[in-house]
Chains A and B, each alone.
Chain A
């Protein structure tokens, strides 16, 4: 029996077992309903349970302070089990049956693209609080995660200057990995470097001996690792034990899966990651957020960038609803169009870009040391998600509800 069949069967049996009506005490009169579709089990759970907790934390704080326009915030959470079909089922359920005002949903890009047509179809309103490969130009979506022009345009030139111009990409084989690899290729070329090689790894693969050898054969100056899911994270341990000893660059590791905490040093030595938040960031705002998080969830293994994205997204939503005096998407988008939806988040100041409905970020370059301690050699403040807007996506004028890539840009008017 193949793994995907197994997974499908498993998931089918679990469907509908988790319906958490939280904050029932508060739900008395006319609450604002926030749907939460995140993976609380399955291959991605390690990186995403913190997102659910962050949303709970923000909702509790907001409810204690009187809710949104006096209305309590009620969470409708389902466990999507790291499974794309669960996303589609639960997205229909929260939009049609639970009639939520807004949905916070999704970790993998495959799951986002699975549910996005449903949000569009039922005229819903969704936040994707995850870093990803960029390019979603859809008025029904707000993206609070970082995108390639924020993570790669900073990281790759830095690495090429420091280590050399021969780059090898090892990426997960689905839309996120493929499109991110395209970005890496583009940026490497723009900076006068060359690709020593590329390999795409199917999700769920955990054995990397041959890939490690392919990398050694290509002799790159550094390796861009865009590996996703807990199975693929086994690469680091196996590469370290084979003494590959190459610097690594990534937009997903450490900041999502806290591999530096999970693996024994020094397997992640010389890993460089661009992230908009990790718990090691040493600023008063960050420390305050981390302390609040740990006070509510003392056993949380790590507060990652997606937890911060999710936390600040709840506050951004509150601000937009209060300014629009409505939970209607069209009213909220009028507020976004003003171009001044900003807040002081744990990472620093962030603003929503009206053209793409993506978010500007403070980007931290995190370096993992031999003892797996984190240092920050460089910080880029206020990096804008400029690519979509420059390429021709303008949601204030037109809503194409599509995803674009460098090789498939928006059509020119």
Chain B
């Protein structure tokens, strides 16, 4: 087998791990980074997106529209959750952990009771291609591009739009923003909805490749939290590089010694980074700047 095959296969595995880490973590990072809320129901927003996507595809919608529907429904659920629960707990961050954890329990068990223990899958589109001895799934490339697209879209949203400026102002000095006439409550709602929608998008994108069960969110949770912990509070300076670093660790360890070592590698990387950079990668970058 020639070098090009090896290089491509390594890149493919890196891209695959990167996509999973970034897509899992984005929603969590937005909600944590912008609002300081640790959302333990993150996995259930992902599950919500996946279920809505699968249901709408079963109902006859094409997959991209199904994913869009999953994203929108998750975002709407996010708005409701923010209004009903999160809003009242902004100055009690520890309580939001308990509240969102409770929500996740309700969502998992509620789905099990109402929808049943499993849902039929939708099948992965696009088929496969061959490089050297290996065949690859085209959809995995789509996922990688989607991860890059999400990062680019978030960058554009928070830097180039009016909402982005208001959101950053609100997050930085809420009272000043409010004094200048910004409806901070609305901004918080929209930011939370954005995070929930991103979780739903991750669920929708991975729905065709996975088992659809009420507990499916749990399979994203470790990767999501690990990425956010390493990345720190900033989505662009944190999540993207953290995703990159962890994807290298994970794909190298997994191809070397199997899945178990991939997971061990992730956790060891977290321990090292948290020890050396307590505020994550973004905290380090921002401190260097100032």
- A-side interface residues toward B, CB under 8 Å? 1-3, 6-7, 9-10, 13-14, 41-43, 45-46, 49, 173, 199-202, 204-207, 209-211, 213-214, 216-217, 219, 230-231, 233-234, 237-238, 240-245, 261-265, 267, 299, 301
Contact with A along B201-243 (1 / 0, CB 8 A): 0000000111111111011011001000000000000000000
Q: Is B116 on the interface with A (CB-CB < 8 A)?
A: yes
Q: What's the least CB distance linking A196 to chain B, in Å?
A: 14
| Interchain CA distance A92-B26 in the complex, whole Å | 43
Check B255–A214 contact: CB distance below 8 A: yes
Check B9–A213 contact: CB distance below 8 A: yes
| Interchain CA distance A245-B211 in the complex, whole Å | 20
Check B260–A200 contact: CB distance below 8 A: yes
Q: What's the least CB distance linking A217 to chain B, in Å?
A: 7
Which one, A49, A214, A242, A261, contacts B128 given CB within 8 A?
A242
Q: What's the least CB distance linking B78 to chain A, in Å?
A: 20
Residues facing A in B89-119 (CB within 8 A) are 101-102, 104-105, 108-109, 112, 116-119
Check B211–A231 contact: CB distance below 8 A: yes
Q: What's the least CB distance linking A399 to chain B, in Å?
A: 36
Which one, B20, B130, B211, B254, contacts A233 given CB within 8 A?
B211
Contact with A along B1-41 (1 / 0, CB 8 A): 00000000100110011001000000000000000000010
Check A10–B105 contact: CB distance below 8 A: yes
Chain A residues near B208 (CB-CB < 8 A): 237
| Interchain CA distance A32-B212 in the complex, whole Å | 39
Of all chain A residues, which has the CB nearest B219?
Answer: A206
Chain B residues near A217 (CB-CB < 8 A): 133-134
What are the nearest 6 A-B pairs in CB distance?
A264-B123, A243-B128, A241-B124, A241-B137, A206-B219, A210-B254
| Interchain CA distance A280-B266 in the complex, whole Å | 43
Check A3–B260 contact: CB distance below 8 A: no
A46-B117, A238-B124 known; A201-B259 Cβ under 8 A? yes
Q: Is B290 on the interface with A (CB-CB < 8 A)?
A: no
Chain B residues near A245 (CB-CB < 8 A): 135
| Interchain CA distance A207-B208 in the complex, whole Å | 12
- Which of A202, A233, A242 has the most CB atoms of chain B within a 10 A radius of its CB? A242
Chain B residues near A231 (CB-CB < 8 A): 211, 213, 215-216, 218-219
A45-B117, A202-B263, A242-B137 known; A234-B210 Cβ under 8 A? yes
Check A301–B116 contact: CB distance below 8 A: yes
Given contact pairs A206-B210, A211-B259, A263-B120, enumerate 12 new A-B contacts (beta carbons under 8 Å).
Answer: A6-B218, A41-B108, A42-B215, A43-B215, A205-B259, A206-B211, A209-B17, A210-B16, A231-B211, A231-B216, A231-B219, A262-B118
